[in-house]
Amino acid sequence: MSTTVKSKSDLMSAVLQAFARLDPRYQVRNPVMFLVWVGSVITTVILTVMLADPGNIIGGGQPVWFVGLICFWLWFTLLFANFAEAMAEGRGKAQADSLKKARRDVPAKKLDKSKNQTVVAATSLRKGDVVRIEAGDVVPADGQVIEGIASVDESAITGESAPVIRESGGDRDAVTGGTRVLSDWVIVRVTADPGESFLDKMIGLVESAKRQKTPNEIALSILLAALTLVFLLATATLLPFSLFSVERAGSGSVITITVLIALLVCLIPTTIGGLLSAIGISGMQRLIRANVIATSGRAVEAAGDINVLLLDKTGTITFGNRQAVEFVPVLNVSAQQLAEAAELSSLADETPEGRSIVALARGQFGLPERKAEDVEATFIPFSAEQRVSGVVINERHIMKGAGDAISGLINLKGGLVPPEAKTAIDDIARKGGTPLMVAEGPKVLGVIHLKDIVKPDIKARLAELRRMGIKSVMITGDNPLTAAAIASEAGVDDFVAQATPETKLKYIRKMQEGGEMVAMVGDGTNDAPALAQSDVAVAMNSGTQAAKEAGNMVDLDSDPTKLIEIVEIGKQLLMTRGALTTFSIANDLAKYFAIIPAAFATTFPALGLLNIMGLSSPQSAILAAVIFNALIIIALIPLALKGVKYRAEPASTLLTRHALIYGLGGIVTPFIGIKIIDMGLTMVGLV
């Protein structure tokens, strides 16, 4: 998706948003930041009173400039957090705007039952309506092509400018509202009511208006709220403790409300609290930038957890087009006889395999060119259930299909499968090829050798998955021998051979019962049940409407290996939250060292020994901690938006690195940061 970055105006609108969101009704959704808001309001009240009457007891003897600066920086802490969120949302704004343009109301040519055409507004279309779309028309609603073929420009959705073919029957029958038909025409049955279309969902996602909290985000929010409560208690009880200490020590002054609020804001996890929603929003946007649309954040998070990935062999592990390379006839049948029968049965077969059989037969034996329409024949299309296709021509009945499928039919017809055919099938399968048996009536003619070509980079990608802890499973309609050969060549961990929609579904259920999280990539209508059963289901945008409905993500690029990227994005999302939480809490140690000696400097001067950073004065120490606390939010916005980098490594290695960077680093960084800010404050002569 092309995003025109108008960085200056983006920044401007994020700043405005940051101010607008100081509204308490907005803040109350986030308990951590709401507490900061309450603290800011209280210090503002104190400041106002002190401005009128500098000696007022409410100030506790603190100078007005100090209270003013604390107040100023508390508000900035809030603004920075708001800004982070607005920034994250702003990045999706441009996308949403361009999508909204595509949604504009267009006229639609609605057909009634007798195919009479009336022009209506697209918004009036409902599920089940039938429309005709011609070259130059904008597709008025999501739908399924029921007649015709057309080239469609889907760049408004996918950002890909090359037009795609949409046609009835088969795996490319889905059209999306907002795209434009470039040539020819199609008749489409509408599949979505207004407001529920794909485009609407996408706009909702990028605008994050409908963003729901994911399970881990909810759990983390609870933990942060509990921590906040404890810190609230620890700071609130300091007032009585301080009263008691002053009374018993007989010297010094009681800790002021301003300092208590400063301490509280420093201690509660504002860093993660302020960035939490920005992390979630930008995670979704990383996904959109990868050209994947997820129907829920839950699915993205689940992607980080999957441990079994089901991949279709064809198109994912191997190149989609298997090539016929050899005809192996049985005894008493010539290669030419076999080739002729094979060519005849493949005339109407528009798959790359079918075309390659026709080409090989003509090339080897010089058969004449002809088209399916030229012959008087009935073609029996391939069905997933029978796994056989064929042709009936002048009482000749030629079938081709997988060895066991043809064998089953031969047996039904009372014929016998000759042993040499079986040998040929096994030979081809063992070499990793796909054997296709050809039979005429009850008699086996021979076997066609289709060669599968494994994609060159797939082995490395599968190895990467294994390092992530994800087991790859190849799904194929091939027989077990062929499947095993390709599986070992590609390096998958397991395979399901002779898969039917039912076996796929069963396999997924079995895995899930064992506690595995299963992801699957699919495009066909027969994939829909398995997609619906999977925990993470990625449908190809080029696929059927049924597949897209069943999946919880749609890949606009229709790239089956995209799942690896999706997994990374899911993991990044969790890692970023975990890392910033650790960092946020680890920061507190240094803040204690800065604030506690400063807060009790008058009562217990000996606590000055804890001022290990050597901060210049109590006021500058407290101020430096508050400023650090605010600035660190700004400093971490890029990390929150970009996400912590994921590497395919064992969990222990990842934990070591992140515990060192964000745990240990989180302890050390504020010591340095607060010291530098303190030096800066001293230098400008502020304190």
Partner 1 sequence: MLFGITPASWLQLALYMLVLTAVAVPLGLYMARVLSGERNLLTPILAPVEKLIYGACNVRPEQEMTWKDYATAVILFSLGGFILLFSLLLAQGSIPPNPQNLPGLTPDLAFNTAVSFVTNTNWQSYGGETTLSYFSQMAGLTVQNFVSAAVGIAVLTALIRGLSRHSSDRLATDKLGNFWVDMVRVNLYILLPLSLILAVLLASQGVIQTLEPYVVAKTLEGADQTIALGPVASQEAIKMLGTNGGGFFNTNSSHPFENPTPFSNFIEMISILIIPAALCFTFGRMIGDKRQGIAIFAAMTLVFVPMTIACIGLEQAGNPHLIAAGADAAGGNMEGKETRFGIANSAIWAAATTAASNGSVNSMHDSFTPLGGAIPMLLMKFGEVIYGGAGSGLYGMLIFVILTVFIAGLMVGRSPEYLGKKIGAFEIKMASIAVLFPSAPVLICTAAAVLTAPGQAGLYNPGPQGFSEALYAFTSAANNNGSAFAGLGANNPFYNSLLGLCMLFGRFFVLLPVLAIAGSLAAKKTVPASAGTLPTHTPLFVVVLIGTIVLVGVLTYAPALALGPVIEHLNMIKG
Per CB under 8 A, which region of 513-521, 525-533, 542-550, 552-560 contacts partner 1? 513-521
Separation in Å, CA 658 to CA 581, 601, 666: 11, 36, 10
Return the residues of window 292-321 that contact partner 1 according to CB under 8 A.
301-302, 304-305, 307
469 binds partner 1 (CB under 8 A): yes
Question: By CB under 8 A, is residue 589 in contact with partner 1?
Answer: yes
* Nearer to partner 1 among residue 257 and residue 470 (C-beta): 470
Single residue of 46, 86, 517, 520 touching partner 1 by CB under 8 A: 517
Compute the distance between CA of residue 519 and CA of residue 569 in angstroms, rounded to an integer: 14
Spatial contact of 600 and 252, defined as CB atoms under 8 Å apart:
yes
- 555 SS3 class: strand
What is the Cα–Cα distance from 361 to 179, expressed in whole angstroms?
41
CB of 226 to partner 1, least distance (A): 4
Q: Where are the beta strands (DSSP E) in 95-252?
A: 107-111, 117-121, 130-134, 143-153, 164-167, 174-175, 180-190
Q: Which residues contact 25 (CB under 8 A, 6 or more apart)?
A: none
Write down the least CB distance from residue 559 to partner 1, Å.
22
Q: How far is the CB of 628 from partner 1 (least distance, A)?
A: 17
The tokens describing 107, both together, are 């006229």
Contact 295, 528 (CB under 8 A): no
Residue 684 CA to residue 511 CA, distance in Å, equals: 65
Assess 516 for contact with partner 1 (CB under 8 A).
yes
Polymer length in residues for the chain: 687
Beta-ladder partners of 396: 393
506 near partner 1, judged by CB under 8 A: no
Q: How far is the CB of 257 from partner 1 (least distance, A)?
A: 15
Instruction: Confirm or reject binding of residue 431 to partner 1 (CB under 8 A).
Output: no
Ranges within 211-250 binding partner 1 (CB under 8 A) = 215-216, 218-220, 222-223, 225-227, 229-231, 233-235, 237-238, 240-245, 248-249
Nearest distance in Å: CB 610, partner 1: 7
Under the criterion CB under 8 A, does residue 62 sit at the interface with partner 1? no
Stretch that binds partner 1, among 17-25, 60-68, 404-412, 587-595 (CB under 8 A): 587-595
- Name residue 155's amino acid: S
The whole-angstrom separation of Cα 615 and Cα 432 is: 72
From 311-319, 361-369, 394-402, 646-654, span contacting partner 1 (CB under 8 A): 646-654
Q: Which residue, 666 or 673, is less far from partner 1 as judged by CB?
A: 666
C-beta of 563: minimal distance to partner 1 in Å?
15
Rounded to an integer, what distance in angstroms lies between the CA atom of residue 86 and that of residue 96? 14
Position among 32, 470, 550, 564 found at the interface with partner 1 (CB under 8 A): 470
Size of the site for partner 1 (CB under 8 A): 78
Q: Which of 561, 592, 616, 617 binds partner 1 (CB under 8 A)?
A: 592
User: Quick check: 646 binds partner 1 (CB under 8 A)?
Assistant: yes
Token pair listed for 102? 């595509």
Q: Is 507 in the site for partner 1 (CB under 8 A)?
A: no
State the amino acid at position 89 in one-letter form. Answer: E
d(CA 45, CA 39): 10
Q: Which of 86, 96, 586, 632 binds partner 1 (CB under 8 A)?
A: 586
Q: x/- binding map, residues 526-565, to partner 1, per CB under 8 A?
A: ----------------------------------------
Nearer to partner 1, 105 or 649 (CB): 649
Q: Does residue 670 sit in helix, strand or coil?
A: helix
- Give DSSP secondary structure letters for 276-344: HHHHHHHHHHHHHHTTEEES-HHHHHHHTT--EEEEETBTTTB-S--EEEEEEE-TT--HHHHHHHHHH
CA 120, 101, 134: angle at the middle one, nearest 5?
Answer: 45
The answer to whether 596 contacts partner 1 (rule: CB under 8 A) is yes
Contact with partner 1 (CB under 8 A): which of 42, 106, 375, 659?
Answer: 659
- DSSP letter at 664? I
Binds partner 1 (CB under 8 A): choice among 135, 655, 676, 686: 655
CB-CB contact of 536 with 566 (8 Å): yes
Stretch in the footprint of partner 1 (CB under 8 A) among 419-427, 548-556, 566-574, 614-622: 566-574
| Least CB distance to partner 1 at residue 522 (A) | 23
CB of 215 to partner 1, least distance (A): 6
Q: Is 107 in the site for partner 1 (CB under 8 A)?
A: no
Distances (CA, A) of 413 to 344, 406, 408, 565, 679: 21, 11, 9, 50, 94
Give the shortest CB-587-to-partner 1 separation in angstroms.
Answer: 10
Q: Give the span between the Cα atoms of 590 and 610, in whole angstroms.
A: 11
Using the rule CB under 8 A, which residue among 467, 509, 510, 642 binds partner 1? 467
Picking from 465, 470, 467, 516, the residue whose alpha carbon sits closest to that of residue 650 is: 467
610 binds partner 1 (CB under 8 A): yes
One-letter amino acid for residue 232 of the chain:
L
**515 lies in the site for partner 1, by CB under 8 A:** yes
Binder to partner 1 among 375, 484, 635, 654 (CB under 8 A)? 654
- The verdict on 400 binding partner 1 (CB under 8 A) reads no
Token representation of residue 170: 């088969």
Angle at 287 between CA 285 and CA 289, to 5 degrees: 70
DSSP, res 606 = G
State how far the Cα of 387 lies from the Cα of 381, in Å rounded to an integer: 10
d(CA 48, CA 444): 97
CB of 619 closer than 8 Å to CB of 66? yes
d(CA 380, CA 131): 30
Residue 588 lies near partner 1 (rule: CB under 8 A) = yes
Helix or strand holding residue 630 (H, E): helix 618-642
Nearer to partner 1, 238 or 311 (CB): 238
Nearest CA among 538, 539, 533 for reference residue 511:
533
Strands 107-111 and 396-401: unpaired
Q: Does 572 bind partner 1 (CB under 8 A)?
A: yes
Task: Supply the minimum distance, in Å, between the C-beta of residue 298 and partner 1.
Answer: 11
276 is an interface residue for partner 1 by CB under 8 A? no
Residue 356 or 472 having the CB closest to partner 1:
472
When asked if residue 111 is in the footprint of partner 1 (CB under 8 A), the reply is no
Indicate which single residue of 266, 579, 627, 633 sits in contact with partner 1 (rule: CB under 8 A): 579
What is the phi/psi pair of residue 596, to 5°? Answer: -60, -50
Q: Which residue lies nearer to partner 1 by CB, 359 or 659?
A: 659
**Residue 602 interacting with partner 1 (CB under 8 A):** no
Assess 571 for contact with partner 1 (CB under 8 A).
Answer: yes
| In the complex, least distance from residue 484 CB atom to partner 1, rounded to whole angstroms | 23
Q: How far is the CB of 538 from partner 1 (least distance, A)?
A: 19
Looking at beta carbons only, is 406 or 621 nearer to partner 1? 621
Q: Which of 368, 513, 614, 685 binds partner 1 (CB under 8 A)?
A: 513
Is 331 a binder of partner 1 (CB under 8 A)? Answer: no
Q: How far is the CB of 574 from partner 1 (least distance, A)?
A: 5
Q: Which is nearer to partner 1, 32 or 302 (CB)?
A: 302
- Using DSSP's 3-state secondary structure scheme, residue 505 falls into helix
Cite the active site residues: 312
